[in-house]
Amino acid sequence: MAAKVAVKRRGRPRKTEQPKSVAILQAALAAFAGHGFDGTNLRQIATEAEIDVALIPHQFGSKLGLWRAVVDDIAERTLPDFRSIIERGSPETSAGETLQLAMARMIDHLCDTPQLAMFVVNEVGEQGERFEYVYDRLVRPMHDLLLPPIRAAHASGAIKDVNPDFFFATFTAAISMTVVMRPFIARFSSHAKKEQAFRRELKRALLAVGFA
């Protein structure tokens, strides 16, 4: 009798097929983004992740431990992507082009995971102890990665005459807030109702404002 061959499904795994830690982190990101830290409870996350609530403290210790694990997971999945864009630059790639690639990737990344934009915006608004953790693990490392190409683009005249640190702060804030405000923007702009049109117009707007 011929042995059955397992067929691997294409696309994103079902929650029941994912490692439990992955399902928990995804559910936690969505919950913290949508309800804030104080408005989120572990039972909500467990229900969404389809796991026993007792598994969360067993794996992460506490709600704060889970929250920190979410930040760590974001950093581990995000920073290498931007590092590769910057390191991939060749002598034929100008500083302005490298920066544009990084900005476009940030737009695509946040559009792919709008919960991430909401999560960061929430914590920046709080400016408390949790924000310091986000700053140390995600914001500052991203700043340190992108500042050299921003400075190079500034020196070459590719971006307008603005302080490089200020440029980093304003363009990252602009991307995050625009992604968070997309439902509001859709009230008066049809572009925000269509995925590709929204990304295209956001890229055009930022390049028009920031680049010489």
Quick one: CA torsion of 147, 153, 155, 156, rounded to 10 degrees?
A: 160
Full set of structural domains in the chain with CATH: 64-210 (1.10.357.10)
pTM of the model: 0.84
Q: What is the pLDDT of residue 126?
A: 80
The mean pLDDT value for 65-72 works out to 97
| Residue 197 pLDDT grade (very low, low, confident, very high; cuts 50, 70, 90) | very high
pLDDT digits (tens, 9 = 90+) for 111-122: 999 999 999 999
Q: What is the pLDDT of residue 199?
A: 96
CA angle, residues 131, 210, 133, in degrees to nearest 5? 10
Q: What is the pLDDT of residue 5?
A: 38
Length of the chain: 212
- The conformational region for residue 10 under phi > 0 = left, psi -120 to 50 = alpha, else beta, is beta
The mean pLDDT value for 125-142 works out to 91
